[in-house]
Amino acid sequence: MTMPRRLRATAAALASIAGVAGAGEAMAAPNCAGPQSETWINITIDNVRNDSGLMAVTLYADEPRKFLVRHGSMYVGRVDAAAPETKMCLFVPKPGVYAIAVYHDEDGSGKINRGGMLGIPTEGFGFSNNPATIASLPSFRSVRLHIAKTNLSTRITLKYP
């Protein structure tokens, strides 16, 4: 069962206010997603075409064999979509190397919609480091992102079919 959008946003804000940082550390932004930890990354998602639905942000561990496979992610964080850019933060378990995949779940179905025989996404999508995705999915190596400490920032640009 999915938590209603307003309740999810309120829960994330309260978790942030409750304090995930120690003395002298920056507090996480109120629009954080994922299991709460002391490490997070600020993400700006560019090229969002409308305010419909949610941004689904998937975190992958530094394990190439699990990248983009069913049940291979660590978790999916979701925040309300905001055009032309959505700003949020994503909790990560600890500093380290991860990969991030994003899709604009415009209809709020909880899954990326695909069309045609090739199963090409019909909703916007993007990856950490913004690799080229013209003819195929990106390699794991091209999307690896080193999150050395908390409160770093990255930008992901969505591509729509």
Q: What is the DSSP string of 135-150?
A: SSPPPHHHHEEEE-ST
What's the distance, CA 133 to chain centroid? 17
Domain that holds residue 49: 5-157
Q: What is the pLDDT of residues 18-56, one digit of tens each?
A: 333 343 455 655 678 989 999 999 999 999 999 999 999
Mean pLDDT for 76-95 is: 95
User: Is pLDDT above 90 for 57?
Assistant: yes
What is the C-alpha separation between 49 and 33, in angstroms, rounded?
21
User: Is pLDDT above 80 for 95?
Assistant: yes
Please count the structural domains in the chain. 1
Return the structure tokens found at 94.
């600890």
- Average pLDDT over the chain reads 84
Q: Which of 73-77, 106-110, 133-137 has the lowest mean pLDDT?
A: 133-137
> What pLDDT does 1 receive?
44
> What pLDDT does 154 receive?
97
The residues near 151 (Cβ < 8 Å, ≥ 6 apart) are 25, 26, 28, 40, 41, 42
pTM for the structure as a whole: 0.80
Nearest CA to 64 out of 137, 136, 118, 126 is that of 137
CB 130 within 8 A of CB 117: no
> What pLDDT does 16 receive?
39
> What pLDDT does 115 receive?
80
Q: How many residues make up the chain in this entry?
A: 161
Q: What is the pLDDT of residues 101-117, one digit of tens each?
A: 999 999 999 888 888 76
CB 47 within 8 A of CB 157: yes
Which range, 1-15, 60-74, 133-147, has the best average confidence (pLDDT)? 60-74
